[in-house]
Structure 1
Amino acid sequence: MSAVLLPHALLDLTVARIAARLDGAACHKICRSVLCSPRRHAHQSVSLETLTTPEFSQHVHEGDRSLYARRQARPSALASAGLFPHSQDRPMTELERRIAELKEAPVAETSQNPSIPSYSEAELISMYEDLLAIPAATQQQDHAVQVPDTQQEQDHAIVRAVLEALYAHEDPATIPSDARSQYTAAIAKLREIIDVLETIRAEPEAPSVDLSVLSTEEWVSLVRICAKEQDGQAAETVIELMQRSGSAIPEAALETTASLYADVGDVVNTERFLASFAGASPSERLRDLHIKAHIRAIEPRTFPTQALSVLHDYEARGLPAPQRSYTRAITALLSVRSSVAEAQAWDLFSHMRYVAHPVPDPYLYTLMITACGSRVIAPQPARALDLFTEMTVDKGIAPTAASYTAAIFACAMSGDKLYVGEAFRLAKEMLDGHRDAYGNHALIPDRRTFCALLEGAKRTGDLAKVRWILAEIVSESQRAARGDVQDPVVVDERIMTHVFHAYAAYKPPFNRGAAVLVEQNHAASSESSSTVQSTAATASQDVPHDGSPSTSSATEAAPQVPVTIASHFTSLLPQSHAEVVGEARALLARIINDAAPDLRGSSLHSPELADGSMPHAFQKVTLTARLLNAFLSVHYTHALLDESAQLYRTIFAELGVEKNARTYIEALERAAYARRGERKQALKFAREVWEEWCGVEEKWGRREENAMKLEARLIERAYVGMIRVLSLTGNTREAVQLVRRFVERYPPDTVKRANPKLALRSTRTVLQAPRPVVRLMSPTEIPDDTVPPLLSFPEVEVLHHKLVAKGDKESIGYLKYVCMSYSGALMRRKEATLHAKPVGDEGAASQP
């Protein structure tokens, strides 16, 4: 007989009306019958279950179970409140008494304990930390009991046990103790056993029984011991014996042996091993090791052509390499520091997302965001922000401190105030947007973060932010000295180089031309007079060296007063050029005091600055040519030429640092843009520097081992600076001779020859080829960074004007010929580069 199901609404109404008139037991029976229906909703069942509790039904009196007896006991259920009403004219039943006691229990409990202890949030956190620390410590103790040794010690123990089992019937004293002799003896005994097994299996009547010589763990431990001793041949022998014994070769054994060859760049043995044991379809890890071997085999800063060919070959076979392999190849391309290599890196990144891995991991995202701040190709801050937004917002990948630093660096390298401001906004978001439960920073800025912020601040000349960042680094190092910080960011050579560059780019607000001249009072004291004269002498140095002619004869004859070193820094920025130089000298003096105590006798050191306000804050700074060049750039911008020249002559010898190519070039450019009153001293200074430069250039031309590395653009800057100095001082004939010397050493014909195009850079569109299918950079967007040194008309324009003023038509014609030759050669080089045929590309002769 099927049950009749009522509608839910009607059933709820019926139950509600019946419950108002029934006693506890009868109501409980009805509720149980209703709850048995499978068509009830969850919230209705919960409301019915709260009507009564089954454990109290045994205490209900038998007379109360009658419906009619309940009706006679009370006239109406609506006159009383509660689910179990009772009349005031009769005593309470046992069930009602128990329910009343339950209702009054919390009140009585609260009245008995009026002072409940309250705990703060910090106390609760510490309490839970203590509770969580106990199982953690117990887990560590259990782990220490279960796994007392490291993996290497376990392998040695396993190999020792295997050796004892193999030589169980021999004298234990004959078992060697060193690792190499142990695995050699084990391999020899295993070879004898497997030879016997193969002989038995070769018999026609031999039973087909699989005997396990060693377990999988024992085989893998033996392979790891061989790899630890850098014995690849022994590891391969173990794998061969494993194969001969009929055991399945685990991936761990193959990866350990292949990694042994790949780490040292042994491509031949890696490919032989993969062909012998991995088969036609190696695992992802083995494919990655194959590509790693090709990358490790090449010299640093070399285009990884073979590695990219192997990478695309795996794609053609339907076995794309793991994302780690693409990251390796992209890293190798970016380390070349070439425009073609960086363009290929971006193409490979887009190609990977198209054919293999659509979503890069955080490390690869960070790598490409860092590449947006390239020094070879123009910085791409917009692309960096797009990649960062795609990673964090679109893909939902949590940003890391490295990804924030990469985005900050890319924005800072642009030098645009808008993007530099975005870099500081990202830094604020990094610190304030990610905190743990204690309010501490979850993403801690490191040295690269501070260097990126200094890069942006110095490019915009924001000295206030540079000083603030330096103060933060110094304060963190001081906290680390007290033990408050575990891994602090310390002031090093690169940070101080950025700081000195910021001082050089800073423009002080004081303008000597806008100062009001006031007649001195003859009745003033001699002390006031000397003060005014010293102030005027100091102000005479506050003229920016922008190369513009000065109209004041007093400026040309200004006395050369040495700059006073300030003993401390104030919150107010330097207001004059002399104050800028003073702060820079004070910083260098502190560096010498902390980092080079042996050089405290130098003229650049000041005993006044050896105070204890910042103990050992600069002790990690290394005195290098780059640091001293940055320090000299401050004097080139804010000091007189004589003072800068004297510092150039003495600073490297006193501090024991060798000069580099930029030292000579920046000195020549300072002399080239000297003011009119300093041109005589500039010519003398430039001749000294040029004599040193010629020796460096000769060594570089002869390709000597100790020759200084020079670049084409640096050579151009050196010649252009010297030509400008000679032209401004009236030595036009000598300047023309220098142009002839440049043409002889670097003729225009060398500019015509374009570099051969790689097959990977072919512009043909095909779906299957050993090169990327999708590209992000076209050939016209890639700058040519291999152009030999050349001269253009803007670089020799000053010499042309001087020749026109003198009327030297022959020299003017030669100068025009030189400029037109280099311009035409550069145009032919550009056309040849765009129409170049890829080397080794099939069908390249028919289609570019």
Structure 2
Amino acid sequence: MSGTLLPHGLLDLTLARASARLEAVAYHNIRRIALCSARRHAHQSVSLENLTAPEGDHSLYARRQVSRQRASALAAGGLFPHSQDRPLTELEKRIAELKEAPIAETPQDSSIPAYSEAELISMYEDLLAIPAAAQEQERTAQVSDTEQQNVQATVRVAIEALYAHEDPSTIPSDAQSQYTAAIIKLREIVEALESTRTQSDAPLVEVSILSTEEWLSLVQMCVDEQDGQAAETIIELMQRSGTSVPEAALETTMSLYANVGDVANTERLLANFAGQSPPERLRDLHVKAHIRAIEPRTFPTHALSVLHDYEGRGLPAPQRSYTRAITALLTVRSSVAEAQAWDLFAHMRYVAHPVPDPYLYTLMIAACGSRIIAPQPARALDLFTEMTVDKGIPPTAASYTAAIYACAMSGEKLYVGEAFRLAKEMMDGHRDAYGTPAFVPDRRTFSALLEGAKRTGDLAKVRWILAEIVSESLRAARGDVQDAVVVDEKIMTHVFHAYAAYKPPFNRANTVLVDSDASANQPAATSASQEDVPQSDSPSTSTEQAAPQVPVALTSHFTSLLPQSHPEVVGEARALFARILNDAAPALSSSLHSAEVADSSMPHAFQHVTLSPRLLNAFLSIHYTHALFDEGAQLYRTIFTELGVDKNAWTYVEALEQAAYARKGERKQALKFAREVWEEFCGAEEKWRRREETAIKLDARLIERAYVAMIRVLSLTGNTREGVQLVRRFVERYPPDIVKRANPKLPLRSTRTVLEAPRPLVRLVSPTDLPDNTVPPLLSFPELEMLHHKLVAKSDKESIGYLKYVCMSYSGALRRRKEATLHAKPAKDENVTSEPSSRS
């Protein structure tokens, strides 16, 4: 028989019931004989003998009657109806014997027992519902303690055996003294053996000085004491004694070197003991050592070379080595490194491991939401479908979160909706018998959903997600939930960004004002629309600029209705910020606002929020968008000082851009505010150019935005001469010549078509699709267009000519850089490990 055998009990019950029903329908006259013959095949011969015709009756009718009786008896008991023509096999006997018990024990009219849903749940719970996480943690703690005790006990036994003719009690009990004494005695024994072999010219014979367990315990003790040289000495003595070196000893010692990035000792250990074909685990540790040896966010050139070298030798590294290299590439935060990560992923599937594991799938799905290269939500969904549907790999919470994040980063409503659909599938698609979801959303899941909601300006979803997080944190505070998500700085940054991106439905500029005498003639729709507007928001003039500033009432209670006007948006944001100060920094809660924030329903829900520059910038962006200009400028001047938080580059850039796009009636205040911010930015820029340790982090694009914003402010306020001087200053600091210098192409980025090479042979990112994120600061005509218009109005031909020269110089330099990048040949120096800095 082929296939999977049924359980004996189930097979017995099925055959017995089938036989019993056949008897009841077709063989009423011989029921007793059939039941007896059905119980055991061994009894069938006896039963058939009793079915012979009476003596003296040799008629044709009698012989037919006996034939029918024999056939019915065989049919009643026969899983193998033709087996009586030959001796019974052992399998037939066992099946026939198993059939006897259910027929004897179960009445013929009995029915199959019915189980309720609660009984079934209880049954499966007893069998399958094992607290795996708790058992795993407890098992890990017990194993670590037990292993250490076993190692110490084994080493002590080995020392007693080595010093059997001496007094082992004189050896100190500390670990270093123990393995040092063992090494001394082992060296004496091995040297004696070697001298004996030299004198007798006998072949090398394995001598069991210690057992394998004792050798491994000695190596483990040396590694625990971070003494790699002692561990290598023990391995060398093991090899010299003729004992085969176990892979575990090499792996344990090599892990000590690989974890700290000691490439020299790692490669020496491989060369001395592993031979030309090291095992997979040692190959992985070799790659790990090269990755740990480089500085963070550095291109792992040597690690990639090791990977491709193993491929050329026909010994591809394990998949975890490729995962390490891809992770290191993704942390570089460079377009070239991310492209290399995708190429390595495709290359790995082509030459080594066709099916990635769930961790690598998750890593690449998350990489689709890159901030360096444009997000790729379609590719993320394709990889997720390939993993779960095509390859049949069960999804994990991390894979769901990665797909949600990639879709949310696109900012498109279609893919953001797909992100929320995936979140719903994650929660509802994998539930147990109690209805409990298998995947619980964590902080990353909520952050990904907030990322998508804020990019589409969906404040309703952002408020709902925030309420869910707050309620979960409160349940965790009561002890109802373990490892709950709490409101932190990143989550509140997303929330404030959503308030800044939200567009309230009420626009004061579009409101139609009517006289009191004509109010009776207004249509009903107009009256209804005016009733929906709060009294505090009713305008007194027909323009936004002439309207008086509306005082905002701060409250800690929120209604289900979204904010309907700009002041209401600011009010809600201030109430949330006041709650953060009240929970996270009570001493500073009254420094900005004197709002009533006491609310017993949310006790310390925001206590885990850290006051950071990113959080304050997000809070400031709400005032830049929804409040008057003076209010945002005043908050910029006070909030960082009063809360003791340092400003970062984004603080200056966003403040300058707010001044650059101020309304016409606010440009005078914008110029004053911009000069204050620009003075601070210039000081930060000088520190960055001098590469001081206390300098804030700047990049080329932020510098461009700051200069362009200040030039626009000066142009709009009529200070064109000062604007041209600022352009000259920019050109002097960041000349066009540095833009035309292309980065050298790495050998791994070669696009030459070959069948075998120490680089990826399959590419997913072509050179034409690869953005260059190392371009130094530059200026183009769209950025200087406002200044150009003002100069034309003043007929300043000299300045106009200079602007034309600047724009053409940067444009030509950028074009030459692009051509040089596309036609660049790989650098001959293989030690090129990173791209040149964009600093001048």
**TM-score of the superposition, structure 1-length normalised?**
0.83
The alpha-carbon deviation at position 735 of structure 1 amounts to: 1.1
Structure 2 match to 1:835: 823
- Quick one: which of 553, 558, 562 aligns to 2:547? 558
Distance of aligned partners of 1:708 and 1:148 in 2 relative to their CA distance in 1, 3 Å threshold: closer
Aligned positions of 1:802-817 closer than 5 A: 802-817=790-805
Unaligned runs of 5+ in 2: 1-21, 74-99, 519-529, 831-840
Distance in 1 separating the partners of 2:497 and 2:121: 47
- Alignment RMSD (CA, Å): 3.7
Change in Cα spacing, 1:28 to 1:656, as seen in structure 2 (3 Å) is: closer
Per-residue CA shift, 1:726-775, capped at 9, x if unaligned?
Answer: 11111111111111111111111111111111111112112222211111
Q: Partner residue of 1:545?
A: none
Rate the CA distance shift 1:327–1:109 in 2: closer, same or farther, 3 A. closer
1-structure distance, mates of 2:123, 2:32: 47
Query: 1:590 is paired with a residue of what secondary structure?
Result: helix
SS at match of 1:555: coil
Question: CA shift at 1:838, angstroms?
Answer: 1.1
- Structure-2 change in CA distance of 1:76 and 1:420 (3 Å): same
1:590 aligns with 2:570: no
Among candidates 556, 578, 593, match of residue 567 of structure 1: 556
Alignment match, 1:169: 165
- The verdict on how the C-alpha distance between 1:202 and 1:502 changes in structure 2, with shifts beyond 3 A counting, is same
Q: Which residue of the other structure, out of 445, 451, 455, is the alignment partner of 1:449? A: 445
Contact 2:34 2:72 in 1 (8 A): no
Change (3 A) 1:151 1:429: same
Matches of 1:64 and 1:768, distance apart in 2: 84
Mapping of residues 507-526 of structure 1, within 5 Å: 507-520=503-516
Looking at structure 2, the residues matched to 133 and 498 of structure 1 have their Cα atoms a distance apart, in angstroms, of 38
Segment of structure 1 superposing worse, 596-605 or 730-739: 596-605
In the alignment, the residues of structure 2 paired with residue 103 and residue 240 of structure 1 have an alpha-carbon distance, to the nearest angstrom, of 71
Which residue number in structure 1 is paired with residue 588 of structure 2? 599
**In the alignment, structure 1 residue 322 sits paired with structure 2 residue 322:** no
Pick closer, same or farther for the CA change 1:538–1:198 going to 2, 3 Å. same
1:106 maps to what in 2?
Answer: 107
Partner Cα separation in structure 2 for residue 222 and residue 105 of structure 1: 64
Using the TM superposition, give the Cα deviation of residue 123 of structure 1 relative to its aligned residue in structure 2, in angstroms: 4.2
> Which residue in 2 is equivalent to 1:386?
382
Q: Secondary structure at the match of 1:667?
A: helix
The SS at the match of 1:718 is: helix
Structure 1 position 495 matched with structure 2 position 483: no
**1:790 lines up with 2:778 in the alignment:** yes
Structure 1 residue 758 corresponds to structure 2 residue 746: yes
Mean CA deviation greater in 369-378 or 64-73? 64-73
List per-residue Cα deviations over 1:125-167 (Å, max 9, x = no partner).
Answer: 336645789999xx99xx99x9895212211110111112212
Is 1:188 aligned with 2:189?
Answer: no
Deviation at 1:57, TM superposition (A): 9.2
Larger Rg: 1
Indicate whether 1:694 and 2:682 are aligned. Answer: yes
Give the match for residue 212 of structure 2: 216
1:276 partner amino acid: N
Partners of 2:222 and 2:407 lie apart in 1 by 49
The aligned counterpart of 1:525 is none
* 1:611 and 2:603 matched: no
TM-score normalised per structure 2: 0.84
- Residue 63 to residue 131, structure 1, CA distance change in 2 (3 Å): closer
Q: Which of 622, 625, 629 is residue 617 of structure 2 equivalent to?
A: 629
Deviations 1:203-241 (A, max 9, x none): 328798643001111111111111111101000000001
Q: 1:108 to 1:119 in 2, by over 3 A?
A: closer
3-state DSSP of counterpart to 1:837: coil
> Which residues of structure 1 form unaligned runs of 5+?
1-14, 30-48, 85-98, 111-115, 523-530, 542-551, 843-848
Q: Quick one: which amino acid aligns to residue 435 of structure 2?
A: G
Show the 5 A alignment for 1:190-339. 190-204=186-200, 210-339=206-335
The residue matched to 2:430 in structure 1 has which SS? Answer: coil
Q: Structure 2 vs 1, CA of residues 827 and 170 (structure 1 numbering), >3 Å: closer, same or farther? A: same
2:258 touches 2:288 (CA, 8 Å); kept in 1? yes
1:601 offset after TM fit, Å?
A: 2.7
> Contact 1:323–1:357 (CA<8 Å) still a contact in 2?
yes
Name the structure 1 match of 2:147. Answer: 151
| Residue number among 652, 658, 670 corresponding to 2:640 in the alignment | 652
Mapped partners of 2:361, 2:575: distance in 1: 41
- In structure 2, relative to structure 1, the CA distance for the partners of 1:356 and 1:348 (3 Å cut) is same
Per the alignment, residue 526 of structure 1 pairs with: none
CA gap of 1:259–1:60, structure 2 versus 1, over 3 A, is: closer
Residue 739 of structure 2 aligns to a residue in which SS?
helix
Write the distance in 2 (CA, Å) between the matches of 1:25 and 1:728.
111
Question: Structure 1 residues 70 and 708 mapped into 2: Cα distance closer, same or farther (>3 Å)?
Answer: farther
What is the one-letter code of the residue matched to 1:815?
Answer: L
**Percent of aligned pairs with the same amino acid:** 75
1:719, 1:540 → 2: CA distance? 37
Deviation sequence 1:96-139 (CA, Å, 0-9, x none)? xxx9x9899838999xxxxx998643245336645789999xx9
Does structure 2 retain, via aligned residues, the 8 Å contact 1:25–1:60?
Answer: no
**Partner SS, residue 611 of structure 1:** coil
Aligned to 1:679: 667
* Deviation by residue 1:630-689 (Cα, 9 ceiling, x = unmatched): 000011000000100111111111111100000011001111111111111111111111
1:92 paired residue number: none
> Distance in 1 between the 2:341 and 2:196 partners?
57
How many angstroms apart in 2 are the aligned matches of 1:148 and 1:57?
66
Matches within 5 A, 1:390-401: 390-401=386-397
For residue 577 of structure 2, what is the amino acid of its counterpart?
L
One-letter amino acid matched to 2:763:
R
Change (3 A) 1:821 1:206: closer
* C-alpha distance in structure 2 between counterparts of 1:675 and 1:807, whole Å: 26
- 1:715 is matched with 703
Shift of 1:170: 2.3
| Alignment CA distance shift 1:207-1:475 (3 Å) | closer
Q: Match for residue 566 of structure 2?
A: 577
TM-superposed CA distance for 1:397, in Å, is 0.9
Runs of 4+ residues over 3 Å off in structure 1: 19-29, 49-73, 75-78, 101-110, 116-120, 123-136, 146-149, 205-210, 518-522, 534-541, 552-555
Measure how far apart 1:517 and its partner are: 2.2
By how many angstroms is 1:408 displaced? 0.8
- For residues 267 and 54 of structure 1, do their structure 2 counterparts lie closer, same or farther at Cα, with a shift above 3 Å needed? closer
SS of equivalent residue, structure 1 residue 752: coil
2:80 is matched with which residue?
A: none
CA contact (8 A) 1:537 1:558 kept: no
Q: How many residues align?
A: 762
Q: Give the drift of 1:245.
A: 0.9
**C-alpha distance in 2, partners of 1:280/1:52?**
65
1:802-841 superposed Cα distances (whole Å, 9 cap, x missing partner)? 1111222221111111111111111111111111121117
User: What is the alpha-carbon distance in structure 2 between the residues aligned to residue 268 and residue 103 of structure 1?
Assistant: 77
